[in-house]
């Protein structure tokens, strides 16, 4: 069968269009950008919108110090802040649309920084610091740049008892409510909890401190603060509707739930605490406020929970396979839910030198491993952060 030149040209055009459409269909679309802090610096990864798989993105950059341990992103996703324990610095990076990080400015803290949080209005950066003492500092922010300290508050148990005023407090986490009005800090009393060492105090070991943010960034202790928080609290998170606060207890393998009352006062959830895996190290709540995910360091797993919107009670989300164990690589230390779709969960695995990925089932909260997980990173990753890529909208639904 013979074709005319016109027919041949038409056929070639059709084949070209089919091939082009297939290539377009197979093209990887980046929905989020992940930043992973490790001993080698800040690595960048692109997240595929369909599979959740990640691939290396922009070149690794220096964290601006040594031993980076925590990261936080501004709510407009234009700024990244990194805490470096090795040189007591907090470094500010601008984030370009393609994920390129540019170092802008930094501050030096009196003691080693431990955890960071940015206010929703991007007005303040909250830094918890200290390895033998605990201090909460709020730094003013202007277009992302770190300014002077608006407030500095030493954490102490003197309000609990004068006899505990000299106890050594070790801070572990910080969280700010979605309305920006309250800040919560977790810490444990090393004088009362010191495995393998001396115990010099009979104070309760674990605590969560609450502060109300006032004019100019002032921090006023909430009535009744601090509240008991198990034995060794490791992380704290609040829901997007400002109603609930959750704290992981590393030593008791539990998660403690609180309801937020007027004046940022916390009350224990009456049916808690709630069982986790072994040595829970990090916690994340999805942008819709429907699910909680806890990274368990010793189990190398992620526990998934569904939040009761009326009471805040978390109940275990069991996968359709009948298993509630979502295996990660070795020793996850940080966890997040992607901000663009709220459809993927990632952990930074300290001993695995990797990131583990999961697809989040939006109607049940259950998790399934993403394609080719885990993904190699730099050595000993400690923290993970994410921004939406380009102009993608973020997933945020008020419960």
Calpha distance 140→173 (Å, rounded)? 19
For residue 36, what are the CA distances in angstroms to 11, 60, 148, 334, 385?
49, 9, 27, 10, 7
3 within domain boundaries: no
User: Residue 25's pLDDT is what?
Assistant: 40
Reply yes or no: is the peptide bond before residue 15 cis, omega within 30 of 0: no
Q: How many helices (H) and strands (E) does the chain have?
A: 1, 32
72 within domain boundaries: yes
User: Residue 131's pLDDT is what?
Assistant: 86
DSSP string across 116-133: EEE-TTS-EEEEEE-SSS
10 within domain boundaries: no
User: Residue 322's pLDDT is what?
Assistant: 52
User: Residue 327's pLDDT is what?
Assistant: 96
139 within domain boundaries: yes
Which CATH number covers residue 284? 2.130.10.10
Q: How many domains does the chain have?
A: 1
Domain that holds residue 177: 28-388
Return per-residue pLDDT of the chain as tens, 399 residues.
444 544 444 444 444 444 334 333 445 689 999 999 999 999 999 999 999 999 999 999 999 999 999 999 999 999 999 999 999 999 999 999 999 999 999 999 999 999 999 999 999 999 999 988 899 999 999 999 999 999 999 999 999 999 999 999 999 999 999 999 999 999 999 999 999 999 999 999 999 999 999 999 999 999 999 999 999 999 999 999 999 999 999 999 999 999 999 999 999 998 999 999 999 999 999 999 999 999 999 999 999 999 999 999 999 887 756 556 899 999 999 999 999 999 999 999 999 999 999 999 999 999 999 999 999 999 999 999 999 997 544 554 444
92 within domain boundaries: yes
User: Residue 323's pLDDT is what?
Assistant: 58
- pTM summary value: 0.91
335 within domain boundaries: yes
394 within domain boundaries: no
How many Å is the maximal CA-CA distance in the chain? 100
User: Residue 4's pLDDT is what?
Assistant: 52
13 within domain boundaries: no
DSSP string across 167-222: PPEEEEEEEE-TTSSEEEEEEEETTT--TTS-----S-SEEEEEEEE-GGG-EEEP
């Amino acid at each position: 069968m013979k074709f005319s030149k016109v027919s041949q040209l038409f056929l070639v055009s059709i084949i070209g269009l089919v091939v082009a459409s297939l290539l377009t269909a197979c093209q990887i679309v980046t929905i989020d950008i992940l930043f992973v802090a490790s001993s080698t610096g800040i690595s960048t990864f692109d997240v595929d919108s369909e599979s959740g798989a990640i691939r290396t993105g922009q070149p690794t950059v220096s964290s601006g110090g040594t031993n980076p341990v925590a990261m936080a992103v501004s709510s407009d996703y234009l700024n990244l802040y990194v805490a470096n324990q090795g040189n007591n610095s907090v470094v500010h990076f601008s984030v370009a649309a393609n994920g390129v990080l540019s170092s802008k400015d930094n501050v030096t803290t009196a003691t080693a920084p431990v955890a960071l949080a940015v206010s929703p209005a991007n007005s303040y950066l909250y830094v918890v610091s200290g390895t033998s003492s605990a201090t909460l500092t709020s730094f003013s922010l202007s277009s992302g740049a770190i300014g002077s300290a608006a407030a500095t508050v030493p954490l102490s148990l003197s309000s609990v008892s004068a006899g505990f005023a000299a106890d050594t407090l070790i801070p572990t986490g910080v969280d700010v409510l979605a309305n920006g009005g309250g800040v919560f800090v977790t810490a444990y009393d090393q004088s009362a909890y010191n495995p393998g060492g001396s115990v010099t105090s009979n104070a309760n070991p674990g605590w969560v401190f609450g502060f109300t943010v006032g004019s100019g960034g002032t921090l006023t202790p909430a009535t009744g603060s601090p509240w008991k928080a198990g034995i060794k609290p490791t992380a704290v998170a609040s829901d997007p509707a400002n109603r609930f606060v959750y704290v992981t207890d590393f030593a008791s393998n539990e998660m403690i739930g609180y309801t937020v009352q007027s004046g940022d006062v916390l009350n224990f959830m009456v049916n808690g605490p709630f069982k986790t895996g072994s040595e829970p190290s990090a916690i994340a709540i999805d942008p819709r406020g429907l699910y909680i995910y806890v990274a368990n360091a010793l189990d190398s797993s992620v526990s998934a929970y569904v939040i009761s919107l009326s009471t805040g009670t978390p109940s275990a989300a069991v996968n359709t396979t009948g298993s509630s164990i979502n295996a990660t690589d070795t020793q996850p230390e940080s966890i997040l839910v992607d901000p663009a779709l709220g459809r993927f969960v990632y952990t930074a695995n300290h001993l695995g030198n990797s990131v583990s990925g999961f697809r989040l089932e939006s109607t049940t909260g259950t998790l399934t491993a993403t394609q080719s997980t885990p993904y190699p990173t730099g050595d000993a990753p400690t923290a993970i952060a994410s921004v939406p890529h380009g102009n993608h909208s973020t997933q945020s639904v008020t419960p």
